[in-house]
């Protein structure tokens, strides 16, 4: 019979019920097994055969079972291993040609070699059991060990002694044993002295001494003793851990009792302040609220989950300078509005209103939840900044509400705003009679979610005034990203004030549907710059009103839209290379003006044409009896006028007037030719005058009614 497996031990973990554990290897007799148990404290006990356990299957070839006298405790481990005596007990005699004693000698030698190997094995550092997780040195020294380099390396005596001596040499110590210092309550704000027995005691420093001054400065409010500091900085004068006494987690009580400069520290729990702010706002200056992290949103989108971060239930409204809030969530969602408030109440999440100039407001890592599923769709804001200047914003996440991120202020220096779940505008920049929206900058605004399943169709956003003839000025957005939204960025059609100096560094829009272009620049927009952009799957790409002014569109693409990829117009429009392809209508819908440059447009397949028209320098119709054959044009691309096509000869040299903005700086010849009376093709002298006329000086060389052809270009001033 062969030995066909390398398995010579089995290990199991007890469950408090099982008593029978199989072994899967061959043994000759039941005493060939060693059974050990390791308890939860890693103590190893070797069990006794026929007392603690019995064995079946001995002498067979496939193993058997070890049956314990009592179930193995839950979590205990059992090891079943084979331990054969290293002997060779078979005695063979020579018979015929089979020299059995020669084979027996060979078996004996192998057995002796195995005994020799096991003798050396007994000298090695070993684990006491297969299920043990440590090595047992059996009370022997381990020498010639290398000094440790990794945190879990064994340490040598020399290393430990050297480290102890280094640490001891840096320690204030006495030559004899000494009692330990007292507890923290007896040590704080005191200095160490020695009594008659040389034992330490804690004493108060002399009032006004250097030690007294240093101890006072080291206290949490010690900076208040530094002269002139408060004149230049807004300093906290009181630190409050709200979860501790006297408030024991009652943030409403803590805020009610707040004094200027208070800093409130909140743990990872839910704080109910509903009803604290409604008609009234906070008027205490330099309040700071610091949480332990932003919370998670429930799967039904109705509330923040308790214990996942710091949660404030109820609106926060502020009208005081120096208000700062960090690392938490504000919940005025469906559940809080309908179940936590005493009666159904819909509020803004966070509102800073009427603070004035130099507001010194800071917001970072704040998640705001408004109503998402409520069919009433109340007109709330996630974050409202109005009638103030001086806001520093890090990261804010606006969920739900009618308006998300609402900016009606000045002097915003912002980081990132992520807005989704709104049933109105995800964000707005707005001026009204209360004040202008100006000098506001954001690093990035992201609208919508990659997977919008179960969320409202958010409107991307808007930049507009409230029809009060108030200008919006200097709005900068480093990057604007929108996905899965209904409509796009649209200044209101009823704007009365101008919207000037708006810059969007990078613009991306995916799946923005509705009846509008994903980004519309209307007739009140002046000095806009839209940088690199990519638009796909929208109603339309970018639309520039022909009455807008000083609009620059960077290089980008707009493809796969229902309407045209672009709709561009205006005399002062400029744009980079744009790729318009696979759009439902034109690649570019030309709206008029001279700014559109068809030479910078690329595309292959669109619903109608690549571009619906081009700017022209023609001023009306031909003059002096000249006639348009239907193929004549003066197309404008950039600063170049391309004169092509043909006219029938008129009665004088002046054939066509050119619009004033396309007049050349100097008189420029234009190649032209026609068929003479002798049926020969002859050149015809022609040029564009500085007064803006196509002047065919050699028209008389062509018979009356003959055709003159043009193919030339010039630069206008």
201-228: average pLDDT: 67
Distance (Å, whole) CA 186 – CA 261: 30
More confident residue, 639 or 457: 639
Strand bridging mode 350-356 / 381-399: parallel
Q: What is the pLDDT of residue 187?
A: 81
Number of H helices and number of E strands within the chain? 7, 45
207 pLDDT band (50/70/90 cuts)?
A: confident
Q: What is the pLDDT of residue 134?
A: 80
Q: Is residue 509 situated within a structural domain?
A: no
Q: What is the pLDDT of residue 491?
A: 67
Question: Long-range contacts made by residues 49-55, C-beta under 8 angstroms, separation at least 24?
Answer: 54/30, 55/30
pLDDT surpassing 60 at residue 230:
no
Residues 409, 391: contact at Cβ < 8 Å?
Answer: yes
Task: Decide which of 84, 109, 134 is a domain's last residue.
Answer: 109
Share above pLDDT 90 across residues of the chain, in percent, rounded to a whole number: 61
pLDDT surpassing 70 at residue 624:
yes
pLDDT surpassing 60 at residue 267:
yes
573-583: average pLDDT: 96
Highest mean pLDDT: which range of 183-192, 448-457, 625-634:
625-634
Q: What is the pLDDT of residue 549?
A: 94
Q: Is residue 600 situated within a structural domain?
A: no
Share above pLDDT 70 across residues of the chain, in percent, rounded to a whole number: 89
Prediction pTM value? 0.67
Q: Is residue 131 situated within a structural domain?
A: no
647-657: average pLDDT: 96
pLDDT surpassing 60 at residue 234:
no
Which runs of E-coded beta strand occur in 334-487? Answer: 350-356, 361-369, 381-399, 403-420, 427-431, 438-447, 462-465, 472-486
Phi, psi of 461 (to 5 degrees): 160, 180
Q: Is residue 672 situated within a structural domain?
A: yes
Q: What is the pLDDT of residue 138?
A: 81
88-107: average pLDDT: 68
Percent helix / strand / coil, the chain, rounded to 5 = 10, 40, 50
pLDDT surpassing 60 at residue 465:
no
- Say which CATH number the domain at 685 has: 2.60.40.1830
Q: What is the pLDDT of residue 103?
A: 66
From 460, 458, 512, 520, select the one nearest 490 (Cα to Cα). 520
Segment 138-173, tens digit of pLDDT: 887 787 878 888 877 788 778 888 877 887 777 777
**DSSP string covering 443-462, please?**
EEEEES-SS-TTS---B-BE
Task: Decide which of 109, 130, 162 is a domain's last residue.
Answer: 109
pLDDT surpassing 90 at residue 456:
no
Q: What is the pLDDT of residue 224?
A: 60
Q: What is the pLDDT of residue 198?
A: 79
Q: Which of 209-218, 382-391, 422-431, 511-520 has the lowest mean pLDDT?
A: 209-218
261-285: average pLDDT: 94
Average pLDDT along the chain:
88
Segment 368-393, tens digit of pLDDT: 999 998 877 888 999 999 999 999 99
In sequence order, the 6+-apart residues with CB closer than 8 A to the CB of 318 are 281, 282, 287, 351, 352, 353, 355, 361
Which region holds residue 56: left if phi is over 0, alpha if psi is between -120 and 50, else beta?
beta
How many C-beta atoms lie closer than 10 Å to residue 457's C-beta? 14
More confident residue, 515 or 84: 84
Structural domains counted in the chain: 2
Q: Is residue 711 situated within a structural domain?
A: yes
Task: Decide which of 75, 109, 143 is a domain's last residue.
Answer: 109
Q: Is residue 366 situated within a structural domain?
A: no
Q: Is residue 707 situated within a structural domain?
A: yes
Q: Which of 227-241, 458-472, 473-487, 489-503 has the lowest mean pLDDT?
A: 227-241
Q: What is the pLDDT of residue 655?
A: 96
- The parent domain of residue 35 ranges over 9-109
Distance (Å, whole) CA 567 – CA 589: 4
In sequence order, the 6+-apart residues with CB closer than 8 A to the CB of 53 are 35, 47, 66, 67, 68, 69
pLDDT surpassing 70 at residue 1:
no
Q: Which of 19-23, 148-152, 209-213, 273-277 has the lowest mean pLDDT?
A: 209-213
Give the side-chain half-sphere CA count within 13 A for 640.
10
Highest mean pLDDT: which range of 8-17, 188-197, 446-455, 688-697:
688-697
More confident residue, 232 or 595: 595
Q: What is the pLDDT of residue 405?
A: 95
Q: Which of 40-44, 444-448, 657-661 has the lowest mean pLDDT?
A: 40-44
Q: Is residue 351 situated within a structural domain?
A: no
594-621: average pLDDT: 95
Segment 35-80, tens digit of pLDDT: 999 999 989 999 999 999 999 999 888 899 999 999 999 999 999 9
More confident residue, 400 or 486: 400
Distance (Å, whole) CA 229 – CA 619: 70
């Amino acid at each position: 019979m062969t030995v066909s497996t390398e398995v010579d031990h089995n290990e199991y973990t007890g469950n408090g019920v099982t008593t029978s554990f199989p072994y899967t290897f061959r043994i000759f007799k039941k005493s060939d097994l060693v059974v050990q148990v390791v308890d939860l404290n890693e103590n190893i006990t070797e069990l006794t055969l026929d007392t603690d356990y019995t064995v079946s299957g001995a002498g067979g070839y496939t193993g058997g079972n070890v049956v314990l006298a009592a179930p193995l405790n839950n979590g205990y481990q059992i090891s079943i291993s084979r331990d054969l005596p290293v002997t060779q007990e078979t005695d063979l005699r020579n018979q015929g040609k089979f020299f059995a004693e020669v084979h027996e000698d060979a078996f004996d030698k192998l057995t002796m070699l195995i005994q020799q190997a096991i003798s050396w094995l007994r000298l090695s550092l070993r684990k006491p059991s297969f299920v043990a997780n440590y090595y047992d040195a059996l009370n022997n020294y381990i020498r010639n060990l290398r000094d440790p380099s990794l945190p879990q390396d064994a340490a040598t005596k020399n290393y430990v002694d050297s480290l102890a001596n280094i640490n001891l040499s840096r320690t204030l110590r006495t030559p004899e044993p000494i009692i330990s210092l007292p507890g923290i309550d007896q040590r704080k704000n005191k200095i160490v002295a020695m009594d008659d027995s040389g034992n330490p005691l804690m004493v108060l420093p002399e009032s006004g001494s250097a030690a007294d001054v240093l101890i006072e400065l080291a206290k949490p409010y010690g900076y208040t003793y530094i002269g002139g500091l408060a004149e230049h900085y807004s300093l906290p004068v009181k630190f409050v851990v709200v979860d501790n006494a006297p408030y024991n987690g009652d943030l409403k009580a803590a805020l009610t009792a707040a004094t200027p400069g208070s800093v409130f520290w909140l743990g990872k729990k839910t704080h109910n302040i509903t009803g604290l702010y409604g008609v009234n706002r906070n008027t205490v200056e330099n309040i700071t609220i610091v949480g332990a992290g932003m919370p998670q949103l429930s799967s039904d989108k109705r509330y923040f989950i308790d214990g996942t971060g710091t949660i404030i239930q109820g609106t926060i409204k502020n009208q005081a300078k120096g208000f700062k809030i960090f690392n938490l969530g504000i919940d005025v969602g469906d559940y809080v509005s309908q179940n936590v408030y005493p009666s159904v109440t819909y509020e803004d999440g966070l509102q800073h209103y009427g603070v004035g100039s130099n507001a010194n407001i800071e917001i970072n890592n704040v998640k705001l939840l408004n109503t998402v599923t409520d069919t009433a769709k109340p007109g709330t804001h996630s974050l409202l900044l109005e009638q103030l200047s001086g806001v520093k914003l890090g990261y804010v996440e606006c969920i739900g509400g009618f308006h998300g991120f609402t900016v009606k202020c000045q002097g915003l220096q912002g980081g990132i705003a992520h807005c989704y779940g709104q049933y109105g505008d995800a964000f707005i920049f707005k001026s009204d009679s209360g004040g202008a929206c100006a000098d506001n900058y954001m690093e990035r605004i992201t609208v919508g979610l990659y997977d919008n399943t179960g969320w409202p169709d958010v409107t991307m956003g808007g930049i507009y005034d409230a029809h009060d003839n108030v200008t919006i000025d200097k709005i900068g957005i480093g990057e604007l990203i929108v996905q899965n939204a209904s409509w796009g960025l649209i200044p209101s059609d009823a704007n009365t004030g101008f919207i000037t100096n708006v810059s969007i560094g990078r613009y991306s829009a995916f799946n923005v549907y509705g009846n509008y272009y994903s980004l519309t620049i209307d007739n009140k927009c002046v000095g806009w710059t839209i940088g690199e952009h990519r638009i796909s799957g929208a109603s339309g790409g970018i639309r520039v009103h022909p009455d807008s002014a000083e609009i620059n569109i960077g290089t980008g693409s707009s493809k796969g839209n229902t309407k045209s990829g672009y709709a561009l117009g205006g005399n002062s429009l400029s744009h980079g290379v744009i790729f318009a392809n696979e759009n439902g209508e034109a690649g570019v819908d030309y709206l008029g003006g001279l700014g559109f440059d068809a030479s910078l447009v690329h595309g292959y397949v669109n619903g109608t044409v690549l571009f619906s028209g081009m700017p022209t320098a023609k001023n009306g119709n031909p003059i002096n009896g000249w006639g348009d054959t239907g193929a004549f044009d003066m197309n404008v691309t950039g600063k170049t006028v391309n004169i092509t096509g043909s006219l029938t000869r008129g009665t004088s040299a002046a054939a066509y007037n050119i619009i004033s903005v396309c007049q050349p700086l100097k008189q420029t010849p234009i190649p032209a030719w026609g068929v003479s009376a002798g049926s020969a093709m002859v050149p015809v002298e022609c040029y564009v005058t500085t007064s803006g006329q196509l002047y065919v000086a050699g028209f008389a060389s062509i018979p009356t009614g003959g055709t003159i052809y043009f193919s030339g270009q010039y630069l206008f001033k």
